[in-house]
Structure 1
């Protein structure tokens, strides 16, 4: 099918986000071809998979990710907040996630940083990717344009993408200047005109984050190459089935009319 399904932080409606449990559940859906995840650095420069800069929301820890060693982070419970079923589910390292997903599903890795918050983040992430020969299975994305520039300086050939929840007038020029061939955009900002412009520029677009079947179907109708990022892969499946059913019905009616 077109309109590829991207599992946002894994199957994060059902399982604790950005954990191996969430990634395994996402990979259990045969139509999930991409997983989106977030990466930061521990105090001792280990790339770790977690969204928030602080630990309180998704773990039993407190404080900032950047102030904790990998040994401290890996001992935290990142699952109980979601359900007792996931008690003691740990924060994964990027290395663990890459090993799980290599050759099975492609990854949209968001570099969670701002300014000089994480010196060396880009090179630490790239080392893990290159060590596994996964350059063709990855896109590195970020809100932080400096992070994207640093990635291109270190590895010009790697696919990078800008994340934005606004639609600036100079978007095409900004993407070109950054060397980005991927755009991760809040779904309300996406329309057919944007898709036509990005398609002409050779930029892949991903809409985030949408769980409602009707909205997924509406987005899919804008362009067949628009990727849809969702916490609920089952909603994507329902939307695509309905889209297929509607298309088949229209085709049947057309055939009947031209008899």
Structure 2
């Protein structure tokens, strides 16, 4: 088994509708997938829901902002038909549903999708839910927002956190240290051998996203054996690293 672990991006999102239970089940069915990345926001009534966009329009048959809709409305939407007829009726899952399905099967990289004060209390809601499921050690919580990462550590410093970094400028190593983060989530095009070496020597894990071509996966593996490869196509990861 390669050290460059396969992370299913929003589940097996290359073939199933992203961030749905169908995509998660397809990822779980591949024995070499041990991690999954997903996105969490809050409904109007403060239920943590698993969806990437701030609006419902792209991945469901609904319209409007996630934060303006109650969970009962969101859960009735079709989140699968846009990907194909066979996924018609697939739903937007709650974080609780995803945690229940993934428990003992997948570790989770959960991005808190928020900007500024868009979702007051999201950190407490998410950490409480994860703790209630006994899954704190199976989760890394990530965000672009430094204040979110600080709040998580204030709530419970035992949670592992990761900074999402997508800039050509700045010093991610320094920011990670300041924020007590143990993971850097970074676009694969922004990652270079020097940064990979510096961070891994500091004990920081690196997750590179979103990598869907075998040649790019191999380039990252050559860069460092511990880089986690986040992909919409775990099947391509398998073809690249497991087939002789």
Q: Report the TM range for the smaller structure's normalisation.
A: over 0.9
Partner in structure 1 of residue 240 of structure 2? 239
SS of the counterpart of 1:206? strand
More helix per residue: 1
Counterpart mapping for 1:85-234 below 5 A: 85-234=86-235
Distance 2:241 2:229 in 1: 11
Q: Give the match's secondary structure for 1:60.
A: coil
Aligned length: 243
Alignment RMSD (CA, Å)? 0.9
Alignment match, 2:78: 77
Give the whole-Å Cα distance in 2 for the aligned partners of 1:125 and 1:28: 26
Counterparts of 2:174 and 2:212 in 1: how far apart (Å)? 31
Q: Name the CA distance, whole Å, in 2 between partners of 1:130 and 1:26.
A: 23
Larger CA deviation: 231-240 vs 47-56:
231-240
Q: Matched residues in 2 for 1:169 and 1:96: separation?
A: 37
How much has 1:166 moved relative to structure 2?
1.4
Deviations 1:128-154 (A, max 9, x none): 100011010000001111111111110
Map of 2:54 onto structure 1: 53
3-state DSSP of counterpart to 2:41: strand
CA contact (8 A) 2:165 2:172 kept: no
Q: Deviations over 1:109-164 (max 9, x none)?
A: 00000000000101000111000110100000011111111111101111000001
Secondary structure of 1:53 counterpart: coil
Q: d(CA) in 1 for partners of 2:55 and 2:170?
A: 33
Deviating runs (4+, > 3 A) in structure 1?
Answer: none
In structure 2, what is the Cα distance between the partners aligned to 1:84 and 1:69?
Answer: 26
Q: Offset of 1:169 from its aligned partner?
A: 3.6
Separation in structure 2 between the aligned mates of residue 80 and residue 182 of structure 1, nearest angstrom: 34
Aligned-pair CA distance for 1:167:
4.2
Distance 1:28 1:196 in 2: 33
Q: Unpaired runs of 5+ in structure 2? A: none
Matched position secondary structure for 1:62: coil
Cα distance in structure 1, aligned partners of 2:235 and 2:101: 22
Question: TM-score scaled by structure 2?
Answer: 0.98
CA distance in 2, matches of 1:102, 1:171: 31
Matches of 1:214 and 1:224, distance apart in 2: 15
Deviations 1:12-44 (A, max 9, x none): 010000000000000100000100000000000
Q: Which moved more, 1:168-177 or 1:92-101?
A: 168-177
Q: 1:170 Cα shift?
A: 2.2
The alpha-carbon deviation at position 222 of structure 1 amounts to 0.8
Counterpart-to-counterpart distance in 2, 1:202 and 1:209: 22
